[in-house]
Structure 1
Amino acid sequence: MAKTLRDLLVLPGIVAFILVLAMMPLVIQTAGPDGGSLALVWKHGVDELKGYVEGFVTGESFRFFSGRNEFSFWEQIGGYFRISFAYIAGGAVVGTTLGILTGIAFAYSRSEWWKRAVEMTGVLPDFVLIILLQFAIVQIAKETGTVLFKVANFSTDEPPAIVLPLVSMIVIPALYMTRNVALQLRLALTEDYIGNAKAKGLSKPYITFFHALPNVFPYIKADLHKFMSILVGNLFIVEYFYNMRGITKLLFADAYMGYYGYQYDLVVNGLATLLVLYGALFALLRLYIFGWEKVFAR
């Protein structure tokens, strides 16, 4: 009963969190004669919330301004969602695949230098990695005169950058998955059933993929929300630095819109869309890992 009640309260709790979170730029105000302290002024946030609820019925809550033009949120959000989902799904699937395969190699490897290299790369912040990738492409272009990949989207009329954003979405989650799989696989290889499989004369690849690896998948699934939080956090950085027209870029670019001020309605709708993106990504990853489990099930 308690679990059922908790499950029923999850969605309303998330909606309430989004509504309150979107208020924060309005609620947190400077105070004091020199503006050096902060105060919480809930009236501004509550007024915006009331306006959002009223506009939700009339449809006004789904209008927003970009520049001096007014747009329908429903007409625009599909394109933003497709871009964000394409990159985050590609990063998730490829990152998971590379992470599992590299984690298996790490579990057996006795070499330390490349493990240290991966660990060092893993501690680099997302934005540092992106800057290094862009810098490398610029330097190669200066030295050779050949531009290997676009480093960012400079205009909506130009073809978008594809390779570097996708690489940036893959690397960080792949490194995290590599460490996780390597750790759990090393532990699995010390179990008694592995010793029994070796005593039967089974090959190392068969033992790895059909005995040890299936017992790693439950740990991957248990850690899935943490893995996805890395992906979503990475998406904010990637879309901002590469100037991609995704959901987070919409929030960055149009949340504050000059004359029109803070667009509370847009922020609420954008955060809700990110929630839908998260749910779609979770379903995709669970299905993908389920496919791995079916392939290597004994």
Structure 2
Amino acid sequence: MIRKLFHGLYMGTLWVIILLVISTFPFLFSYDGNSFSFNEQIFTYVKNYFSGLLTGESFQYKWVADGFVLSEYSIWDEWPDSFVLSAVFLILTGIVAMGLGLFVGLWLAKRKAWVKDIFGFLSLLPDFFVGLLLCVLVIVIFQSTGILVAEVAATGSETAILLPFITLAYIPFMYMIRMVSFETYHVLTEDYILIAKAKGLSKWHIYSQHVIRNILPFVKADLFKICGMMIGSMYIVERIFNLRGVTKLFFLVHKWDIQGQYNIVTYTLLALMVIFFITYVTMRLLILLFEKIFAD
């Protein structure tokens, strides 16, 4: 028990150190108009960040233009809402993508080659293309019928939900389909499946008691990769649909002078890391639920 506790503390400390190091990357080099050079002030930025944790200055960030501070913001005023928005989107899309992807993949395993080819082609489409295609489709429907089936972007107090949800779920959903379909096809050729068929067991019994329970370990093994895909897609989705999630500062930096504001990058990456692990744990619990359902 104590050994596991120390291991957990060690891994947690290691992840924090990695995060702090990665957060320095945007500030490592400076550009004077002609060439890049190492930014020696990076050590000052990090030092000021740690000293600011005691004074509270590290929980403030500034909007600077041409060297003038236009306004100051507190991390606690806006970021909790942004964190909740991104976390809810990622967790819900992960659950839907994994759940539907599992059963669609089981169905696809026994379909004809041309059906698999269609899904294979669809899986090649990048998420930003899917998002833009959905926006165009909604606009065309609105122009033709006058019915707005979904918000294409967040404006003011309105938050787009349906299109970002579909776009964020698309990549993990298609990945799950292809992976489950491939593994199911091979599981169905195993001797114990052929014996079960020879005994006259029902198709539902074979799939629920033999196929799914042997597919879930592959899903569990790829879960880290799936969550990583979703984190990568979240930046694109929040950008396309103008969502005020935790990645918003990544695409506002071209408007803001963040030179020296090491805390902005640190807290953004920290939020992404926490959301990643919350999503990962939630999806592991869903797999555990599937194992309980289909193993009994």
TM-score (norm. length: structure 1)? 0.89
Greater alpha carbon shift after TM alignment, 66-75 vs 88-97: 66-75
d(CA) in 1 for partners of 2:263 and 2:254?
11
d(CA) in 2 for partners of 1:170 and 1:258?
31
Question: Offset at 1:112?
Answer: 2.4
Q: Give unmatched runs, 5+ long, in structure 2.
A: 65-69
Distance 1:260 1:129, change over 3 A: closer
Quick check: 1:227 aligned with 2:226? yes
SS in 2 for 1:105: helix
Cα shift readout 1:40-74 (whole Å, capped 9, x = no counterpart): 33x22111100111011222111123584322213
Question: Offset at 1:257?
Answer: 5.8
Aligned residues with identical type, % of pairs: 33
Cα shift readout 1:10-57 (whole Å, capped 9, x = no counterpart): 3333222222222222212337xx72x53333x221111001110112
What does residue 57 of structure 1 align with? Answer: 54
d(CA) in 2 for partners of 1:226 and 1:286?
13
What does residue 74 of structure 2 align with? Answer: 72
How many residues were matched structurally? 289
User: Given residue 99 of structure 1, which amino acid in structure 2 is its aligned partner?
Assistant: G
Question: Offset at 1:180?
Answer: 0.8
Q: Give unmatched runs, 5+ long, in structure 1.
A: none
What does residue 284 of structure 1 align with? Answer: 282
Distance 1:257 1:18, change over 3 A: farther
What does residue 177 of structure 1 align with? Answer: 176
Quick check: 1:81 aligned with 2:98? no
Distance 1:259 1:180, change over 3 A: closer
d(CA) in 1 for partners of 2:4 and 2:192?
35
d(CA) in 2 for partners of 1:259 and 1:249?
15
Quick check: 1:121 aligned with 2:122? yes
d(CA) in 1 for partners of 2:256 and 2:105?
49
CA RMSD of aligned residues (A): 2.2
Distance 1:65 1:257, change over 3 A: farther
d(CA) in 1 for partners of 2:200 and 2:259?
71
SS in 2 for 1:124: coil
Cα shift readout 1:157-195 (whole Å, capped 9, x = no counterpart): 3x2111111111122111000111111111111112112
TM-score (norm. length: structure 2)? 0.90
d(CA) in 2 for partners of 1:233 and 1:98?
21
d(CA) in 1 for partners of 2:142 and 2:63?
34
d(CA) in 2 for partners of 1:213 and 1:46?
52
Cα shift readout 1:65-98 (whole Å, capped 9, x = no counterpart): 3584322213322201110011111110110111
Checking the alignment, whether the CA contact within 8 Å between 1:251 and 1:266 is kept in structure 2 is: no
d(CA) in 1 for partners of 2:192 and 2:4?
35
d(CA) in 2 for partners of 1:260 and 1:226?
31
Checking the alignment, whether the CA contact within 8 Å between 2:45 and 2:261 is kept in structure 1 is: no
Question: Offset at 1:7?
Answer: 5.9
Alignment of 1:249-260 (within 5 A): 249-253=248-252, 255=253, 258=256
